[in-house]
Structure 1
Amino acid sequence: MSDWIGPTFFSVAILSFLVTLIQSVLRPSIKSLQSKVDLVGESLRTLCDGLMTDLASKLAISHKDDSRASLYVHDGNSHFVLIGRYSPNPVLRKPGRPFYPDDQGCIAKGWQQGWSFENTLGNGANYTRNTEARYGIPTADIVRFAMKSKLLGAHRVDSNGEPIAVVLVESMRQDRFDEQALEAALSQFSTDYAPMLKAFRAYAPTPSIAKASGL
């Protein structure tokens, strides 16, 4: 096990996740099925939030830092679902849209190319124009962004050649991270956790479930 996450946290998170799965199998009444599915999703989210907290620590994201780390799993169709996030800023930590199209944004670039880095979007109207032109995001969606990031780095997570997720780091400062150092850190994260994410991907909420549960 790499030193990307403490063994105690990892063991407790995995144990909690497995206990939830076992309980859902042992007591499969139709009446309680939805609540058990929700518990599995909550356990997955807790685990992945912990992974993002650990990643943020490795990137030296401090308590006054307007940056965040997010993990998006692909649903196998045409969307990403947010399954983990950390930011020291509670406003930036909140989930936004319940799902994200896989043909928009820096997430899509990272998904298609393996790595995408951006820190030249500009300010004000230039920011909106550049974001729409480069990433295909409608202006109506851009103006609703809680975080209008000035720097974005997105790395695809592959498991044995199969793309399964994207890890994204954002900052309100365009000079917050060095591109090469950030790419190396996210590449290491992807290598360390791709097998685990592949195994757990089936328990991520679909876009419809994510919307209903407020993710």
Structure 2
Amino acid sequence: MDGYLYFVITLILILVFTSIKATRNFLTQYLSEFLTAIGAIGLTVVDIQSGSDNIFIGTSSWKDVWVVLLIIFSLIVLSAIIVGAKRNLHNRTVQEEINKNLLLKKSIKTYQEEYYKLCSNNILHLFESFYTTGGERISIYKHQGDHFTLLGRCSKNFAYNKNTDYKYRDNEGLIGKGWDENEVIVNGSPKWTGKGTDYKNFMKTKCNITDKRLNKIGMKSRSLFVKTINDNNTASNPDGIIVFESINPTKITSNECNQLISDNEKALLTLLKNMKNLTKKTQ
């Protein structure tokens, strides 16, 4: 069989493999290695047959065409080197961008954590008189699209002072109800005992909330006051929402909470707007 037929058969096999999606994707992914293999095999064959008088094609022997074949397979090897170099450069570039992105996310998270601490500290200073027994907590939320996320929270009881990344839907819980009605107060909820059946039933009469969500809430507050915070000089949606909580069933009064909000309204609005601007920039 003429020598060129071996190369024709090889070419046909390559065309068959590239017509199948799975093998085509594999060959594309490892194109550099594939070209290197072809070039190396070809150069090896040319080296072995370079002095042969066997017919390669027509009347030309291997001896007659080995230089041409040497050039062809050398170019294939060179192509493999170029393809590999480009792929490595691309991979390095992609990895560098991934590393930059990870560093940026880490910086943003640190930045947000620091602002969360700042917001929480401000809550403590603005509403110091509210904290009388250790069983109180104040939280400020921002509204984003169809949900709320926590901006800052303060309680003198560490167990109630934990941050959360939970996103409350704006039709969920007393927060959602307060968003719709501007102001909501709940007093006299039963103490959580056992599986909290009485507490759950009570809260579900006050707002739209599930047992699953109530189970996950760390502070089973027995009195709460929820109110929207808004700059009345604008016609836009409220800037956020504030929640006063206590494990004392009679601690919360709307008069006290409204007075605290009124006394600190300017500072509260400034704090809330600055925090909202921060979260917009870091999303």
TM-score w.r.t. structure 2 length? Answer: 0.56
Q: Larger helix proportion, structure 1 or 2?
A: 2
- Counterpart of 1:101 in structure 2: which amino acid? R
TM-score w.r.t. structure 1 length? Answer: 0.72
> Of 213, 222, 233, which aligns to 1:141?
213
Q: Is the 8 A contact 1:68 1:86 kept in 2?
A: yes
- Counterpart of 2:118 in structure 1: which amino acid? L
Note the C-alpha offset of 1:51. Answer: 1.7
2:92 corresponds in structure 1 to none
Q: Is the 8 A contact 1:151 1:172 kept in 2?
A: yes
Q: Is the 8 A contact 1:114 1:155 kept in 2?
A: yes
Q: 1:136 to 1:97 in 2, by over 3 A?
A: farther
Whether 1:153 aligns to 2:225 is: yes
Q: Is the 8 A contact 2:244 2:252 kept in 1?
A: no
1:68 corresponds in structure 2 to 137
Note the C-alpha offset of 1:128. Answer: 0.8
Q: 1:184 to 1:107 in 2, by over 3 A?
A: same
Q: Is the 8 A contact 1:156 1:190 kept in 2?
A: no
Note the C-alpha offset of 1:39. Answer: 2.9
Secondary structure at the counterpart of residue 177 of structure 1 = coil
Whether 1:200 aligns to 2:268 is: no
Q: Larger strand proportion, structure 1 or 2?
A: 1
Structure 1 residue runs of 5 or longer lacking an equivalent are 1-28, 210-215
> Of 79, 101, 106, which aligns to 1:35?
106
Q: 1:169 to 1:144 in 2, by over 3 A?
A: same
- Counterpart of 2:248 in structure 1: which amino acid? R
2:112 and 2:159 mapped to 1: Cα distance?
22
2:166 corresponds in structure 1 to 98
1:51 and 1:57 mapped to 2: Cα distance?
10
1:42 and 1:177 mapped to 2: Cα distance?
29
CA RMSD of aligned residues (A): 2.4
Q: How many residues align?
A: 176
Q: 1:31 to 1:121 in 2, by over 3 A?
A: closer
Q: Deviation per CA, 1:116-155, whole angstroms, max 9, x where unpaired? A: 1110333453321121232111012212221111100112
2:222 and 2:271 mapped to 1: Cα distance?
31
Q: 1:190 to 1:197 in 2, by over 3 A?
A: same
Compare relative contact order (CA 8 Å, sep 6+) and give the higher one, 1 or 2.
Answer: 1
Larger Rg: 2
Whether 1:116 aligns to 2:184 is: yes
- Counterpart of 1:135 in structure 2: which amino acid? C
Secondary structure at the counterpart of residue 127 of structure 1 = helix
1:150 and 1:70 mapped to 2: Cα distance?
15
Note the C-alpha offset of 1:36. Answer: 2.5
Note the C-alpha offset of 1:44. Answer: 1.7
Structure 2 residue runs of 5 or longer lacking an equivalent are 1-99
Percent of aligned positions that are identical? 22
Secondary structure at the counterpart of residue 230 of structure 2 = strand
Q: Is the 8 A contact 2:220 2:247 kept in 1?
A: yes
- Counterpart of 1:87 in structure 2: which amino acid? S
Note the C-alpha offset of 1:97. Answer: 5.1
